[in-house]
Amino acid sequence: MGKRAYILANGDVMDYTRLKACLQTDDLLIAADGGLRHFKAIGLQPHILLGDLDSVTTEDIEDARAHGVRIVRFPVDKDETDLQLAIDQAVGEGCLQIVIGGALGGRLDQTLGNVFLLQQPAYPSVSIRLDDGLEEVFLIASEAEITGQAGDVVSLLPLGDPVYDVKTFGLKYPLNYEKLFPEKTRGISNVMINGRARVSLSRGLLICIHTRQSDPGTN
């Protein structure tokens, strides 16, 4: 599947236990500016700290450098968000899979921008997902499998234009070669009936939002 990067952005994290469970032992760990605080919260140092670094203190930067973290600093006046720069860095490091935590919640403009970053037309062969352990968000251009458990909520939202011939398997409310429109809510709040579901389509692009069942004992 290729080298994988796990990036932590500066958004909200609701459950650090679940967040840490998303990481794999050989991941390239990248903190996008204030995402460093989330690495510190789970007791880890990233391999790279990147961004304009306006959301971390000088002490944070020096501590990271003392632990061997590579610091990549950009000007405050830049065209890209820190997260986009982190994605570019991961691709430049040879990663074909990128998972991003701390990218949901908080400011709505940042959250929407992070979702739109999943398109990344410059990197068609790179798989990019937002996943903080509680919720994962990714795009479906032809077909995809969703792994979870019965009761998880799955929402399918057309990105931009209508999506054609949407067919689902393993969801409570099946779609059978249906057309979904961005201005309608037909694909919202479906439910997994077992541990796996599958979605296929013939044309268009779907945002898949998979919300896992919460476990109040893991905060």
Assess whether pLDDT exceeds 70 at residue 215.
no
Extract the tokens encoding 52. 């304009």
Same fold, 3-133 and 140-218: yes
- Residue 159 CB coordination number (10 Å): 17
pLDDT band at residue 123 using 50, 70 and 90 as cut-offs: confident
Identify the CATH number of the domain defined by range 3-133: 3.40.50.10240
Name the CATH superfamily housing domain 140-218.
Answer: Thiamin pyrophosphokinase, catalytic domain (3.40.50.10240)
Which residue is it, tokens 């796990």? 6
pLDDT tens-place string over residues 168-194? 999 999 999 999 999 999 999 999 999
pTM of this prediction exceeds 0.75? yes
Q: What are the residue boundaries of the structural domains of the chain, listed by start?
A: 3-133, 140-218
- Residue 26 CB coordination number (10 Å): 7
pLDDT tens-place string over residues 38-70? 999 999 999 999 999 999 999 999 999 999 999
The pLDDT score that the predictor gives to residue 33 is 94
Q: Residue 87: what are its φ and ψ, rounded to 5°?
A: -65, -45
Q: Which is it for strands 190-191 and 135-140: parallel, antiparallel or unpaired?
A: unpaired
pLDDT tens-place string over residues 82-94? 999 999 999 999 9
Question: Helices marked H in 67-107 — which ranges?
Answer: 82-92
Q: Which is it for strands 190-191 and 153-158: parallel, antiparallel or unpaired?
A: antiparallel
